[in-house]
Amino acid sequence: MKKLTLEQVINKVEDIPALPSVVSEIMALTEDPDSTPQDIEKVVLRDQSLTARVLRLANSAYYGFPRRISTISEATILLGFRAIRSITLSAAVSNVLVRELPGYKMAKGELWRHSQTCAITARHIARKFNIGNSEEIYVAGLLHDIGKVIMSHYIEDDYIEVVNKVISENITFLDAEEEILGFNHAQVGYRIAEKWNLPPDLVEAIAYHHSPEDATLDPHMTCITHIADVITMMMGIGLGVDGMAYSISDYAIDVLDIDTDIDSIIAEVSDIIADESSFSRDDLHF
């Protein structure tokens, strides 16, 4: 196969859809301190499945409100603007993330499970250690591997070569991607996130989830995304072909200054994802 440059790949990205206008509007509204829950409600109500999803999550055991929440404005007040934003983005990307990725040997739904688990783990770490904004970090966890959706097409033909390089040279899958193809899935993810006009700290977390020491805007968000990703792989969720080739960066542990009791984080996250309603697998349209 003729080798393409990163630029050519990004320009060919017709199958990464533009974010629906509802998503961009919600992103803008939730950034604006003058917005009201009624403004948010008006936009959310234009999308039936998003409306259902917000209400289902607001009433899930995860948030644990004692009474039934029946309107979007009420859910917005109780969950907060940022939670509404992460729910909206996650609904918008689920169709893209759910695809099969032959280049990574990931079955349909596997990247979605990996991304959801990473997002939930990242949010859990942020809350547990009281670092950063947990809803924003959730979105970073959800989108960190978005570049794989595109990379999968290009890596398929060179797959054996990439795997051999990982084994024979004992390098990471990411470095092997870069050496064989000229770019890696984190760089492609970075370009998709830019194309979607996501906030710069989020773009950075996607770009550097495998090299957290490169983050400058919000190192905490990137470091948590990195750790949550490795933990998700340690849990065996959405490993794909490259899953075993990564380890937790000591730098990330140092920056966050957290006690690295990974086993207890894994146990806590397992409890959270056991609650089906917070995992929202029922949103998948297979």
Nearest residue to 81 (alpha-carbon basis) of 49, 54, 61: 54
CB-based contacts of 11: which residues, under 8 Å, 6+ apart? none
Q: Tell the smallest beta-carbon distance from residue 2 to Fe ion (Å).
A: 25
Residues 187-216 that bind Fe ion (CB under 5 A): none
Q: Tell the smallest beta-carbon distance from residue 247 to Fe ion (Å).
A: 13
- How many chain residues are in contact with Fe ion, going by CB under 5 A? 2
Residue in 229, 245, 269, 273 binding Fe ion, rule: CB under 5 A: 229
- Nearest residue (CB) to Fe ion, 24 versus 172: 172
- Nearest residue (CB) to Fe ion, 145 versus 204: 145
Q: Tell the smallest beta-carbon distance from residue 44 to Fe ion (Å).
A: 29
- Nearest residue (CB) to Fe ion, 10 versus 227: 227
Nearest residue to 155 (alpha-carbon basis) of 184, 186, 190: 184
Sole window of 93-101, 140-148, 219-227, 268-276 interacting with Fe ion (rule: CB under 5 A):
140-148
Which runs of consecutive H residues, i.e. helices, occur in the chain? 6-11, 21-31, 37-44, 48-58, 72-79, 81-97, 110-128, 134-143, 147-155, 159-169, 173-181, 185-195, 200-207, 219-234, 250-256, 262-274, 276-279
Q: How far is CA 239 from the centre of its chain?
A: 15
Chain position carrying tokens 């084994």: 167
Q: Tell the smallest beta-carbon distance from residue 189 to Fe ion (Å).
A: 8
How many Å apart are CA 84 and CA 95, to the nearest integer?
Answer: 18
Q: Tell the smallest beta-carbon distance from residue 262 to Fe ion (Å).
A: 16
Q: Does 110 bind Fe ion (CB under 5 A)?
A: no
Q: How far is CA 170 from the centre of its chain?
A: 27
- Nearest residue (CB) to Fe ion, 144 versus 220: 144
Residues 23-62 that bind Fe ion (CB under 5 A): none
- Nearest residue (CB) to Fe ion, 81 versus 173: 173
- Nearest residue (CB) to Fe ion, 47 versus 229: 229
- Nearest residue (CB) to Fe ion, 81 versus 208: 208
CA distances to 15, 72, 101, 238 from 184, in Å: 18, 40, 15, 18
Q: Does 145 bind Fe ion (CB under 5 A)?
A: yes
Q: Tell the smallest beta-carbon distance from residue 145 to Fe ion (Å).
A: 4
By CB under 5 A, name the binding residues for Fe ion.
Answer: 145, 229
